[in-house]
Amino acid sequence: MRRAREIPGPTIERLCKYHRVLARARRQGMSYISSAALAHLTGLSPAQVRKDFSYFGSFGRRGVGYEVHQLLSTLKRLLGLERGRRVAIVGVGHLGSALAGYPGLHSRGFQVAGLYDNNPARIGHLVHGMRVRDVASLAADHAAVPIDIAVLTVPEGAAQAAAEQVVNAGITALLNFTPVALRLPPHVLVRDIDMTAELEYLSFCLSARARAQDEQGG
């Protein structure tokens, strides 16, 4: 049971998976679940599951398993999902609009707290029933009702400047959809989602496979 700062990143990522499959298990009326079952549902190993939980405490009953409902609330608490997190979308182009209307956000307890853009042609328009606001009002809005996370969906060239506006507004967590390595103060939490990097990863694997087959075939 380590301190929070020392939890391995991969463990945190897996907590999300456990949370997801447990939510389904509960919907299906399951009341207890073993590490083996949880491992099967997530594609991980039972030892991994138990080790991951052990960083935070001991939640199971020996000989029985984990009480689904209780484990689920524990995970919710660890992940900070007890009350819905408020999310602002910065950059209301095609991608930003798509995310604003994504039902998976709401169903997982995230609340789209606002849409922001710096393009006067967009400001004031309705997108998925929400009015697009000037990114300049982000600081005031955040001061009024805090925003937990900003989602950055601006064009590449505007990414660094927009990220700085977000940080200056006082927001300290950022989900960056642009393929730009943002330079921000160290206290700001950033996660990157880079579609082109993922495509390049797949492309690498395809090439590697092709090379391996060439070698074997010839």
User: Which residues are near DNA by CB under 7 A?
Assistant: 1, 8-11, 34-36, 44-48, 50-51, 53-54, 58-66
Residue 206, interface with a second copy (CB under 8 A)?
yes
Task: Show Cβ contacts of residue 203 under 8 Å, excluding neighbours closer than 6 positions.
Answer: none
Rounded (5°) CA angle 168-169-174: 85
Residue 212, interface with a second copy (CB under 8 A)?
yes
Is residue 134 within a helix (H) or strand (E), and if so which, with residue range?
A: strand 130-134
Q: Which of residues 29-88 bind a second copy (CB under 8 A)?
A: 41-43, 77-81, 85, 87
Closest distance to DNA from the beta carbon of 31 (Å):
13
In DSSP notation, 159-178 reads: HHHHHHHHHHTT--EEEE-S
Residue 27, contacted partner among DNA, a second copy, none, CB below 5-8 A by kind:
none
84 to each of 17, 52, 112, how far by Cα in Å?
18, 24, 10
Residue 207, interface with a second copy (CB under 8 A)?
yes
Q: For 69, what's the count of Cα atoms within 13 Å in the CB-facing half-sphere?
A: 2
Residue 194, interface with a second copy (CB under 8 A)?
yes
Q: Which of residues 141-180 bind a second copy (CB under 8 A)?
A: 148-149, 156, 172-175, 179
Name the nearest CA neighbour of 152 among 106, 189, 104, 109: 189
Residue 202: how many CB atoms within 10 A of its CB?
9
Nearer to a second copy, 138 or 174 (CB): 174
Total binding residues toward a second copy, as defined by CB under 8 A: 63
| Distance in angstroms (rounded) separating the CA atoms of residues 190 and 164 | 12
Closest distance to DNA from the beta carbon of 207 (Å):
19
Sites of contact with a second copy (CB under 8 A): 4-5, 7, 12-13, 15-17, 19-21, 41-43, 77-81, 85, 87, 93-95, 97-99, 101-102, 104-105, 108, 110, 148-149, 156, 172-175, 179, 181, 189, 191, 193-208, 210-212
